[in-house]
Every structure is written in C-alpha cells, then in structure tokens.
Amino acid sequence: MKMLRKTPLAWRQLMKEKTRLAIAVAGITFADMLMFIQLGFESALFDAAVQPHRNLQADLVLINPQFQTLFSVKSFSRERLYQALGYEGVQSVSPLYISTGQWRNPETRQDRAILVWGIDPATSAFKFPEVNNNLNALKPLNQVLFDQAGRPEYGAVGDIFKKTGNFQTELNNVAIDVKGVFSNGASFAADGNVIASDSTFLRIFPERKADRIEVGLITLKPGADPEKVRSQLAAGLPNDVKVLTPEGFAQTEKQYWATGTGIGFIFGLGVGVGFIVGIVIVYQILYSDVSDHLPEYATLKAMGYTDRYLLFALLQEALLLAVFGYLPAYLLSFGLYQITFAATMLPIAMKLDRAINVFILTIIMCSVSGAIAMRKLRSADPADVF
C-alpha cells in the first residue's frame, strides 16, 4: 500500500510528454468552450424572451389560449378582464396591448421592427422603476418610453435623451416624442421595446380595436391566494381566455422557443457535438499514451501491480485532463460571452449552474474516454517483457 502512494503514475505519465499534454488540454478546452457557448446562447435566448413577462406588475394574467409567443401574439375580448373583477380576491385589473411597429431611426431614416406595449398610464403595468416614475409623461398623446438596452440600429436614443431630455422620431409614420428610457433588452422575438399609453397605442395602430387586448393584468387583494383565485377564474371565465401566473406566462414563451422552433434542438445538438468531440480527443490521447508505454505497463504488472491499480491510474489521467482542459475553457468563455453580448445585446453571462453542468459533462466525457482506452491497457502482458 505504501508503494502505491509513492508512485504518482498518472501525474508522471501526463508530465512526461508535454506536447501531448498541451494538445490534449487544447482539445478538451475547445470541446468545453463549444458546450459553454451553446448553453450560453440557449440560456440567453430564454432569459431575453421571458424578461418582459417576469417584469409584469401583476399577480395573474389573462391571455388567449392560443398564445405561443410575443412575436405573434393573439388577442381576446377586454370584457373578460372586467369580468374577472367580480371574483373574490381580485383587487384591480389593467389591459395590455402588444403589437409590432416600425421605428424610424431619424439619422439613417431606416425603419426597423420594434415591439410596442400599450398600457393604462394610471396603473403600474411593469416593475421597471424607470417606467413607473414616468407614467405621467405617457398621458399626453404620442409620448413614449424607449428601451435603451435594445439594438443600436434604432439610433443613439438613450444617449441623446440623457443629454437633451428629448428625442423625436416616427413610429408607424406617426410623430412621437421619447419622454423617458428604461432597460429591458433585445431578444429573438424583438430587437427593442417601446411603452406607450393605450390611447397612443391605438393611434399608432389605427386598425386595432380598443376592446381587443393581448394580456390582462390582474392584481389580487393582500392575503389572497393566487393559485386559489387562478383556479376560480379558470373555472368561471369562458374558455376563450387562459389564466396564468406571470411565471406561467413566461414558461409558455420559453416552451415555444424550446420546442416550437428548431432553435432549442440546434443548441442541444451543439452541446452534444462538443461532448463527442471531447470524448474522441481524450480517447486518442489516452490510447496513444497506453500504446506507447505498453511494455512499461507490462513491467509494472510483472512487479506485482494489479490491473485494478493500473486502470485506476488511467482513470486518474482522464480526470486530470478534465480539470486541465476545463479551467482555461471556463476563463475564456467569460471573454466570449462579453464579445457575444456586445454583438447581439443578448443577456449572456456565466452562471453557476452552467459552470457546474459543463464541469460534470467534462468529467463524464473524460471518464468515458478512459473507460474505452482501458481495453488496450488490459492487453499489457508481463510475458511481453521477456
């Protein structure tokens, strides 16, 4: 037992061939970075897509049962929202209009699609402090609040407004004034957002009917049980509306992007490819190492070392490679996330659960490679020494 402790076989095997070690670490780093990027993009997609949902100032929401995404939102009768006022536990309701408009960059004169939210300026529809502090500014017609975290193609709206206190442009060929800014961010469904009063919204979209809304916001009385009230509303209201919590509303959007499009599959495939690439690279390194030192392994067997010890040493090599390859991938991914954020404005950042998941995948990847390479190690025969 003492002899086993004094023989750091796995470490010495790796350190002996510095070039081979560097190639192995580079390969694992590449595989890990591929997984980090794919998982990061997927997480950024979901986070950006559901951020508006989670920032709604409501305990419950009403939506059309056919709702899938804000990119193609379905409307329903505003009457259903007012019917909800008659249920026990409901304190207030507020309509929310959603549609896609054309924002004109006043410098380039180019139009770009933007998501427009129409709210009742007498109530708080969102949790954004910048929005709630500027609700009075929305009451006059043609006044809006602009999402300064959106794509730069809309123009330097945030910078100009902060310097001058004013920004004028056109939205659906209607002259509007920016009276404040807030930060939500771009998503795959919308490159930017604008919040207007319900009256301004209907002027920007003259074809829209005031009695058709996209989301109904429901605020409950203090102490009311959201799930109980939700069940009562779901049972009492006609089936042309669906009652959800804001988080349930967010999950509906997330489910659309995860399963209703090919995007979720593509990101998952990227992670799988990175995993397989890592297995192949580590296996090639370990197999070559075992093949080159097969006589030495046979000598160790002749000296009394068991197959179990040698196999454990090979597994240690695989785990050391996993750690060596993971650390640079983890650090480099921070930089790649920053570059991606600057280019896409998507909220991509390193998360603890992602870092842990990729590390676990790396351990599994290298362990599987080691397990496959063990077949070659078992063929080391002490008789080959003589």
- Domain extents for the chain? 2-49+262-385, 60-244
Residue 2: pLDDT band by 50, 70, 90 thresholds? very low
Q: According to the model, what pLDDT value does residue 93 have?
A: 95
Answer whether residue 7 shows pLDDT above 60.
no
Picking from 308, 273, 328, the residue whose alpha carbon sits closest to that of residue 31 is 273
How far is Cα of residue 100 from the mean position of the Cα atoms in its chain?
23
Answer whether residue 277 shows pLDDT above 60.
yes
Task: Supply the mean pLDDT for the chain.
Answer: 86
Least confident range of 193-207, 256-270, 297-311: 297-311
Model confidence pLDDT, tens digit, residues 229-240: 999 999 999 999
- By percentage, how much of the chain surpasses pLDDT 70? 90
Q: According to the model, what pLDDT value does residue 287 have?
A: 76
Task: Determine the Cα–Cα distance for residues 181 and 161; give it in Å rounded to an integer.
Answer: 8
Is the CB of residue 152 less than 8 Å from the CB of residue 81? Answer: no
Q: According to the model, what pLDDT value does residue 301 have?
A: 67
Q: According to the model, what pLDDT value does residue 297 have?
A: 67
Least confident range of 291-305, 317-331, 337-351, 359-373: 291-305
Strands (E) located in the chain: 60-63, 76-77, 90-104, 111-119, 143-147, 167-171, 174-182, 193-197, 212-213, 215-220, 242-244
DSSP symbols for 166-177: -EEEEETTEEEE
- State mean pLDDT over 325-337: 90
pTM: 0.77
Model confidence pLDDT, tens digit, residues 140-172: 999 999 999 888 899 999 899 989 988 999 999
Q: Compute the CA torsion angle 16, 18, 19, 23 (nearest 10 deg).
A: 110
What does DSSP say about strands 193-197 and 143-147: parallel, antiparallel, or unpaired? Answer: antiparallel
Residue-level length of the chain? 386
Q: According to the model, what pLDDT value does residue 68 have?
A: 86
Is the CB of residue 68 less than 8 Å from the CB of residue 251? Answer: no
Model confidence pLDDT, tens digit, residues 19-46: 877 888 888 898 889 889 888 888 888 8
- State mean pLDDT over 283-287: 77
Residue 193: pLDDT band by 50, 70, 90 thresholds? very high
Enter the tokens of residue 316.
């240690």
Model confidence pLDDT, tens digit, residues 62-106: 999 999 888 888 999 999 999 999 899 999 999 999 999 999 998
Per-residue exposure over 42-56, b if at least 16 CB sit within 10 Å of its own CB, e if not: bbbbbbbbbbbbebb
Which residues face 62 on adjacent strands?
216, 243
Answer whether residue 4 shows pLDDT above 50.
no
Residue 3: pLDDT band by 50, 70, 90 thresholds? very low
Answer whether residue 176 shows pLDDT above 90.
yes
